[in-house]
């Protein structure tokens, strides 16, 4: 029986780790991305370079794979529309449409009655003044293409609304700044039969708006854990999402608010490669290929640390040890704020952070 071929749109580090995971479970991969020199090069079974807006090349790619997934959510929707057999796309178009626009995502969560931070659709100067009065301290976020703090800036009660309006380039929302205790991620997966499974919940710490540390497992109350899982299941089920999905939450005392959704494998789940019986990447490929979801078992407690920018120089000549696992992404240039790799520190599984 021929091995299934999963096409992956995108050739970054997430694509690279999906390709590595696929080899472990006897699945072939085909990367499609605009850059020849990318982290996934040499890791996939097949590799195509092309523009996401090239209909002919996308159709050719689609015809050569059994299923199609994506490693980032900013794939043009037109690219997805080029693919005749939409059932091949896992997760589907709905997950992409939702998470490409912060306002669409907020409205979706409102409709599901999943708690989120108060927000406003920024259309006029009156929306800025209104937010200053109601929220006091808030954040203006671009509705599209914003990640790792890009396209965001603070809005204070004392700011001049006219000056603020002049700074805004893209369609944006205003979100009340939440004085949260800490942020957590739920990495959840769903297969074609609707079965769901999740990994131990981890705590995230950011530096300069970029994820720096994730700790697993952490101490949460029974009520907190139940809410986190229930909300995540509600989201992934409503989207009819196939594969892995990450939900970031703010913990505010016993209140839980969704921060954002990522319709894919996620940076805060990288620790699962070394610390669980099955990684988020394997789980995603299992679900996308139509197989039954697996229940991950924690082998070690873990602390994942992102290697950012020039920090890579400290790790290029280091080797794995029993308790420290190094993953480098083979990026040619160490730009400021760029994720160049990650390290996972392993501990006895009894340790709770």
**Separation CA 304–CA 4 (nearest Å):** 31
Residues whose CB falls within 8 Å of the CB of residue 126, separated by 6 or more in sequence, listed in order:
none
pLDDT, position 1: 65
Packing angle between helix 222-238 and helix 102-112, nearest 10 degrees?
110
**Terminal-to-terminal C-alpha distance of the chain:** 45
d(CA 284, CA 347) in angstroms, rounded, equals 25
Using N-to-C axis directions, what is the helix angle for 280-288 and 13-24, rounded to 10°? 70
- In this predicted structure, what is the pLDDT of residue 172? 93
Q: Which residues of the chain have pLDDT under 70?
A: 1, 147-149
Enclosing H/E stretch for 49: strand 46-49
Domains of the chain: 5-88 (3.40.50.20), 118-176 (3.30.1490.20), 182-347 (3.30.470.20)
Phi/psi at 42 (nearest 5 deg)? 90, -5
Positive or negative torsion for Cα 209, 215, 218, 224: positive
* Six-digit token string for 349: 């599984």
Phi/psi-derived region of residue 92, left when phi > 0, alpha when psi is between -120 and 50, beta in every other case: beta
**Residue 147 has what pLDDT?**
67
Sign of CA dihedral 285, 288, 291, 297: positive
pLDDT in tens, 167-202: 887 899 999 999 999 999 999 999 999 999 999 999
């Amino acid at each position: 029986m021929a091995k299934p071929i999963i096409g992956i749109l995108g050739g970054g580090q997430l694509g690279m780790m999906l390709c590595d995971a696929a080899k472990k479970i006897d699945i072939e991969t085909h990367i499609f991305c605009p850059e020849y020199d990318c982290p996934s090069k040499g890791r996939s079974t097949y590799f195509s370079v092309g523009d996401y807006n090239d209909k002919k090349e996308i159709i050719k790619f689609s015809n050569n794979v059994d299923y199609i997934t994506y490693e980032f959510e900013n794939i043009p929707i037109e690219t997805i529309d080029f693919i005749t057999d939409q059932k091949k796309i896992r997760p589907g178009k709905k997950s992409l449409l939702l998470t490409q626009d912060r306002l669409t995502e907020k409205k979706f969560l409102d409709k599901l009655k999943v708690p989120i931070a108060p927000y406003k659709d920024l259309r006029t100067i009156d929306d800025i003044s209104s937010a200053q009065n109601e929220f006091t301290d808030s954040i203006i976020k671009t509705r599209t293409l914003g990640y790792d703090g890009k396209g965001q800036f603070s809005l204070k009660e004392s700011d001049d609304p006219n000056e603020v309006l002049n700074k805004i380039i893209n369609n944006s929302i205003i979100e009340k700044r939440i004085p949260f205790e800490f942020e957590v991620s739920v990495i959840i997966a769903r297969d074609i039969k609707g079965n769901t499974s999740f990994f131990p919940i981890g705590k995230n710490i950011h530096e300069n708006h970029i994820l720096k540390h994730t700790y697993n497992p952490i101490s949460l109350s029974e009520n907190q854990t139940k809410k986190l899982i229930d909300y995540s299941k509600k989201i992934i089920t409503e989207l009819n999402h196939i594969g892995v999905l990450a939900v970031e939450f703010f913990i505010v005392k016993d209140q839980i608010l969704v921060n954002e959704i990522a319709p894919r494998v996620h940076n805060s789940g990288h620790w699962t490669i070394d610390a669980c019986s099955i990684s988020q990447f394997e789980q995603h490929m299992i679900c996308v290929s139509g197989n039954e979801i697996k229940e991950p078992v924690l082998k070690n407690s873990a602390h994942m640390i992102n290697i950012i920018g020039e920090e890579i120089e400290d790790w290029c000549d280091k080797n794995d040890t029993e308790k420290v696992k190094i993953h480098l992404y083979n990026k040619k240039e160490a730009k400021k704020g760029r994720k160049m790799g990650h390290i996972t520190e392993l501990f006895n599984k009894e340790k709770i952070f």
